[in-house]
Structure 1
Amino acid sequence: MVLALDTCLFACSAAVVRDGELLARRIDPMARGHQERLAPLVQEVMSQAGLAFEALDRIGVTVGPGSFTGLRVGLAFAKGLSAALSIPAVGVGSLEALAQPFPGRVLAALDAKRGQVYLQAFEDGTAVSAPDALPLETAAARVAEFAPQVMVGTGAPLLAEVRPAARIEPLDHTDPAAVAALAAARAPVPPRPLYLRAPDAKLPGGRSLVP
């Protein structure tokens, strides 16, 4: 039994999945406010599934790239619940979660602002490149080389003209059911944030918010 969480992008979402069967799912679109919404939302999906927290076997949580604040909210919650229930928490990349529902050659791309995109390529669900933060020009060259059948994510429209034949899915959040499927299939390694670049916001003195 997997509880999946995503707070990295433009939604706060959770799902409960048992042996591939979706029991409950909730996706609340939002750009901020994940910290206040996550705990009540998790309680809602657990109630909808008709389960106590003790029925869970593991927790899947997105680890980025995405909102620095959002991904830390999800990670902190997942780690706390993991410790309380003595079950593993498993990290899932937001790019792989975006790509998971689509077969064939898929390019997941998120608008990273400042003329960059977060990019990762997949073929039939298997990653064929590492996640990276790239200038748009470099990303466009990757698109031309990979020739994806599907481009998914907020960065997809920025690259659409490079590959007019590709199906464009400009999703701004993952499906937590996809997060659950990926989390269920991998070894229970403790989740770590995937930032890809330093945050735009800085502490006094120019120090990064990322330790």
Structure 2
Amino acid sequence: MTGQDRTGAGDTGRPQRVLVIDTATSAVVTGVVEMSSDGDATALAERIVADQRRHAEILTSLMRDVLADAGVTGADLDAVVVGCGPGPFTGLRVGMATGSAYADALGIPAYGVCTLDAIDGAAPVAGPGARLVLTDARRREVYWALYDGGRRIAGPGVDAPDTLVATLADTALIAVLGESRFTERFGFTGAELVTPTAAALAAVAAEQVRDGAPAEPLSPLYLRRPDAVELKDQKRKSLLPAASDDVGRSVR
């Protein structure tokens, strides 16, 4: 079977197997997930390693490990699902580039999903009401999205925690998912580490996987410009001569 034959073909006669990658949080998440014809996702193997400084170094090793753990080879895969953030520029780029290249080499589609959607999807829904999902955006900010009954109703966005507290002051939250240092500002207990699961990431793309939807270019959710660009812009600004207003005061 050629790569072209496999891409976008769809297969309702058997469970489909998906390689999952996410590097949008402080952890690297990889897994092999089996998708049933009705969209149920079951992880055959999963590795979650908290090491935000070595995403590029450990990702390919983890991919090899989960494939071996699941007893699956690349030829057995039907799709690759990649978390597209929001997340920091460098870590997010590593996962997306690797997932896209791997899918292309196998001739199978790669589908991008929102990492926050998967974090929400991994936690049982206790009942109706707004639920907030938070991840670390660094620079004393958080990435966030608001959900109700498993459906995203606001976001994703990036804000300082105190700004977000004020913004959502009139929203009755039934839960806040995230690290304790962020959730406590909303009056909720959090966890030390919050990541999507492999099964939840695959479930977000369940319809595309089931239908064998044509792959589209992965679109990263950076939500702000990368640090390198901002530093370059700052340096350029510092080299510009100061202008003067009508009363002779120096302005920039």
Q: Please classify the TM superposition score into its range, dividing by the shorter chain length.
A: 0.7 to 0.9
Quote the RMSD (CA, aligned, Å). 2.3
- Measure, in 2, the Cα distance between the counterparts of 1:92 and 1:57: 16
Unaligned runs of 5+ in 1: none
| TM-score after normalising by structure 1 | 0.86
2:153 is the alignment partner of 1:131? no
Bigger radius of gyration among the two: 2
- Measure, in 2, the Cα distance between the counterparts of 1:170 and 1:127: 24
In structure 2, the residue matched to 1:158 is: 182
In structure 2, the residue matched to 1:9 is: 25
- Measure, in 2, the Cα distance between the counterparts of 1:83 and 1:21: 24
Listed as ranges, the matches of 1:100-139 within 5 Å are 100-102=121-123, 103=125, 104=127, 105-139=130-164
In the alignment, is the contact (CA less than 8 A) between 2:32 and 2:45 conserved in 1?
A: yes
Q: Which of 40, 63, 66 is 2:87 aligned to? A: 66
The residue identity in structure 1 corresponding to 2:24 is: C
In the alignment, is the contact (CA less than 8 A) between 1:4 and 1:60 conserved in 2?
A: yes
CA drift at 1:158: 2.8
2:169 is the alignment partner of 1:144? yes
2:116 is the alignment partner of 1:88? no
Q: Percent sequence identity over matched residues?
A: 36
In structure 1, the residue matched to 2:222 is: 195
The residue identity in structure 1 corresponding to 2:203 is: A
CA drift at 1:23: 0.7
Cα distance change of structure 1 residues 127 and 170 upon mapping to structure 2, 3 Å threshold: farther
In the alignment, is the contact (CA less than 8 A) between 1:10 and 1:30 conserved in 2?
A: yes
- Measure, in 1, the Cα distance between the counterparts of 2:20 and 2:69: 14
- Measure, in 2, the Cα distance between the counterparts of 1:61 and 1:167: 29
The residue identity in structure 2 corresponding to 1:146 is: T
Q: How many residues align?
A: 205
In structure 1, the residue matched to 2:65 is: 44
Cα distance change of structure 1 residues 119 and 54 upon mapping to structure 2, 3 Å threshold: same
- Measure, in 2, the Cα distance between the counterparts of 1:51 and 1:41: 14
- For residues 126-170 of structure 1, what are the alpha-carbon distances to aligned partners after superposition, in whole Å with 9 as ceiling and x for unaligned? 11112111233431134333322221123x6335343x3x45345
Cα distance change of structure 1 residues 112 and 203 upon mapping to structure 2, 3 Å threshold: closer
The residue identity in structure 1 corresponding to 2:207 is: A
In the alignment, is the contact (CA less than 8 A) between 2:165 and 2:185 conserved in 1?
A: no
Cα distance change of structure 1 residues 15 and 135 upon mapping to structure 2, 3 Å threshold: same
- Measure, in 2, the Cα distance between the counterparts of 1:170 and 1:153: 8
- Measure, in 2, the Cα distance between the counterparts of 1:116 and 1:84: 37
In the alignment, is the contact (CA less than 8 A) between 1:97 and 1:182 conserved in 2?
A: yes
Listed as ranges, the matches of 1:161-176 within 5 Å are 161-162=185-186, 164=187, 166=188, 168-169=190-191, 171-176=193-198
- Measure, in 1, the Cα distance between the counterparts of 2:110 and 2:165: 35
- Measure, in 1, the Cα distance between the counterparts of 2:31 and 2:58: 14
